[in-house]
């Protein structure tokens, strides 16, 4: 997906690459194949329901991969042009005049806090949602340009802690010792519940199998690591001001610690894949001349994180050769 803002117009674009469509079609075909085979061989009620669900998901995914539309919204003076193009269909163009619009809002995606979209309420009662707004660090600027083009004066974007117009950009949430304490309690409860079976076997003099011994050791190690790193696992809270970066985090003992970073402290700054997220998500990584490394909390896609990375580099005055691409 690529979103661009050019000239006096604002353009919001949603594209699905050919590679993405092929991957989606391949995944859908695999799901359909497994579901059809299971539907033909399974006899139980639960198995048949699972196969039917797989068929529905496979058909929906295949349809989206083959017929999903690419969208381009061009917001010009008192006019919005919505163009939809499908791989196996004719382009569809719709013109929406200013007088057809009764209300405009900027919505923030609950699942992805870095995603902002334009929501139109038409006089006909229809509601339209645009592709994602460009750069997460310039949502307020883009909103102002849209309001100017459509002569709306009351478009208020939702709170965006990553907007470049903020005096302070914020990544993550303030760290709390209570959250780490809760994780430690949960780790102890799980370890205690798992230990009940072993205590019962030991009390009755029953021998343990090899699998039970391995499982018990694994649970003990996981519980120990979870307890030890409960406070640090929450990550850090970044506050980016002009000229300095404040990093708030907790030690293993739950004590708060604050690091202040200025531009001259930084050896390199760049992106890194978020190892804690299953989906494609990136973080900002800062390496200091002292050898210390700082990782932000997960931000968003590579494009969104790159925009945040560039704004941090600009605020700290980091030389371009120290910004990794």
Q: What is the pLDDT of residues 207-237, one digit of tens each?
A: 878 887 888 888 888 888 888 888 887 788 9
Q: Give the SS3 label for residue 171.
A: strand
Q: Tell me how crowded residue 207 is: count the other CB atoms within 10 A of its CB.
A: 8
Q: pLDDT, tens digit, for every residue of 37-86?
A: 766 565 666 667 777 777 788 788 877 777 777 889 999 989 999 998 88
Q: What are phi and psi of 266, to 5 degrees?
A: -90, 130
Radius of gyration of the chain (CA): 26
Beta bridge partners of 248: 237, 258
DSSP for 79-115 reads: EEEEEEE-TTS--EEEEEEGGGEEEEEEEE-SS-TT-
- Length of the chain measured in residues: 325
Q: Considering Cα of 263, then 268, then 273, then 274, what sign does the dihedral take?
A: negative
Q: pLDDT, tens digit, for every residue of 278-305?
A: 677 899 999 999 999 999 988 988 888 9
Structure tokens that stand for 131 in this block: 């592709």
Structure tokens that stand for 190 in this block: 């799980």
| pTM, two decimal places | 0.69
Q: What is the pLDDT of residue 216?
A: 83
Q: Which of 123-127, 151-155, 197-201 has the highest mean pLDDT?
A: 123-127
pLDDT band at 2 (very low <50, low <70, confident <90, very high): very low
Lowest mean pLDDT among 28-32, 45-49, 200-204: 45-49
Q: What is the pLDDT of residue 203?
A: 85
Question: Average pLDDT for residues 117-137, to the nearest whole number?
Answer: 91
pLDDT band at 87 (very low <50, low <70, confident <90, very high): confident
pLDDT surpassing 90 at residue 252: no
Question: Average pLDDT for residues 299-325, to the nearest whole number?
Answer: 92
């Amino acid at each position: 997906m690529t979103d661009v803002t050019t000239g006096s117009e604002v353009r919001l674009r949603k594209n699905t690459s050919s590679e993405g469509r092929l991957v989606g079609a391949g995944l859908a075909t695999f799901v359909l194949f497994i579901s059809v085979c299971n539907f033909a061989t399974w006899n139980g009620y639960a198995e048949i329901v699972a196969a039917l669900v797989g068929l529905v998901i496979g058909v929906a995914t295949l349809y989206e991969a083959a017929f999903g539309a690419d969208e381009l919204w061009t917001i010009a003076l008192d006019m919005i042009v919505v163009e939809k193009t499908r791989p196996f269909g004719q382009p569809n163009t719709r013109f929406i005049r200013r007088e057809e619009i009764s209300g405009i809002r900027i919505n923030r995606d609950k699942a992805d806090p870095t995603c902002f979209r334009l929501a139109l309420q038409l006089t006909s009662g229809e509601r339209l949602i645009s592709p994602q707004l460009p750069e997460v660090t310039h949502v307020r600027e883009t909103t102002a340009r849209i309001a100017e083009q459509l002569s709306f004066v009351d478009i208020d974007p939702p709170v965006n802690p990553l907007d470049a117009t903020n005096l302070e950009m914020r990544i993550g949430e303030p760290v709390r010792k209570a959250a780490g304490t809760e994780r430690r309690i949960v780790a102890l409860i799980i370890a205690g519940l798992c230990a009940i079976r072993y205590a019962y076997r030991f009390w009755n003099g029953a021998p343990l199998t090899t699998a039970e011994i391995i499982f018990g050791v694994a649970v003990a190690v996981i519980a120990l690591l979870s307890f030890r790193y409960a406070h640090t696992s929450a990550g850090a809270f970044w506050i980016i001001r002009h000229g300095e970066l404040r990093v708030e985090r907790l030690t293993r003992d739950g004590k708060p610690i604050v690091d202040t970073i200025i531009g001259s402290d930084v050896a390199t700054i760049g992106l890194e894949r978020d190892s804690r997220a299953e989906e494609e998500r990136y973080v900002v990584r800062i390496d200091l001349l002292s050898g210390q490394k700082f990782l932000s909390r997960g931000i968003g896609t590579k494009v969104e994180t790159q925009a945040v990375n560039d704004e941090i580099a600009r605020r700290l005055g980091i030389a371009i050769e120290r910004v990794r691409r």
